[in-house]
Amino acid sequence: MAQINPSILSADFARLAEEAGAVAGADWLHVDVMDNHFVPNLTLGVPVVESLSRATDTPLDCHLMIEDPDRWAPQYVEAGAGSVTFHVEAAAAPVRLAREIRAKGARASMALKPATPIEPFEDLLPELDMVLIMTVEPGFGGQAFLDIMLPKIRRTRELIAKHGLELWLQVDGGVSASTIERCAEAGADVFVAGSAVYGADDPGAAVRELREQARRTIAGAAWACGH
């Protein structure tokens, strides 16, 4: 029920294959793609995703913090991503894009920056496999968790339940042992963790411990009753 997606933004970019292997027990490997336009940072692109997909058996969860995802997102599916997340603030035709991602064989996900409300996009939810609520401003790793996003996570979970959907609800930003339970209680079931995993002495053990924390919390959460 609880999934942990280590973010390679916090990994050693010179040793990505080894860093992927260090978290082989993770559910997904989270790949932050930034273009220095949509967000003020530049990371990696299609060729690195293509190489990484050949170097690990862990499925890749690509989070595109880029302009014009309508053009670029399908290429990440072709490069080997099992899940592709686009930002609704940047997408020109989010329904068409989600359908194209799915048609190419990947899970389609929509991300929202902290200031973007979920309610205007309620009708899009059936087109998606996952919603990503950013719990920091996108662009850099290692930021402090924004507690004011917890009500938004709850509202998103309520909308998912309202429509009877089997959507995953992902959170990204400042997720750690001290914040993951609050996210899980609010309704999240997929957790991106960067420095909390790769900053640990044993990244694999950190993944297991975070998953167990989240699993216990979800088991007792009101939103998960009867799930």
> What is the C-alpha to C-alpha distance for residues 212 and 120, in angstroms, rounded to an integer?
34
- In this predicted structure, what is the pLDDT of residue 42? 84
Q: Which residues of 78-87 are buried (b: 16+ CB within 10 A; e: fewer)?
A: ebbbbbbbbb
- In this predicted structure, what is the pLDDT of residue 40? 82
Structural contact between residues 171 and 135, judged by C-beta atoms closer than 8 angstroms:
yes
> What is the C-alpha to C-alpha distance for residues 123 and 95, in angstroms, rounded to an integer?
10
Beta-ladder partners of 83 = 61, 107
pLDDT digits (tens, 9 = 90+) for 144-178: 899 999 999 999 999 999 999 999 999 999 999 99
Amino acid at 69: P
Half-sphere CA count of 45, side-chain side, radius 13 A: 10
Give the DSSP letter string of 159-218.
HHHHTT---EEEEESS-STTTHHHHHHHT--EEEESHHHHTSSSHHHHHHHHHHHHHHHH
Q: What are the strands of the beta sheet with 190-193, ordered from one edge?
A: 3-6, 190-193, 168-172, 130-134, 107-112, 83-87, 60-65, 29-34
> What is the C-alpha to C-alpha distance for residues 146 and 170, in angstroms, rounded to an integer?
15
pLDDT band at 182; cut points 50, 70, 90: very high
Q: What residue has token string 């993951």?
A: 180
pLDDT digits (tens, 9 = 90+) for 205-225: 999 999 999 999 999 999 998
Q: What is the DSSP code (8-state) at residue 91?
A: -
Q: Phi first, then psi: what are they for 169, rounded to 5°?
A: -120, 110
> What is the C-alpha to C-alpha distance for residues 32 and 126, in angstroms, rounded to an integer?
25
- In this predicted structure, what is the pLDDT of residue 227? 54
Whether this prediction's pTM lies above 0.85 is answered by: yes
How does the average pLDDT of the chain come out, rounded?
Answer: 95
The C-alpha angle with vertex 140 and arms to 135 and 143, in degrees rounded to 5, equals 50
Structural contact between residues 65 and 38, judged by C-beta atoms closer than 8 angstroms:
yes
Q: What residue has token string 């996210």?
A: 183
Question: Which amino acids are annotated catalytic?
Answer: 32, 172
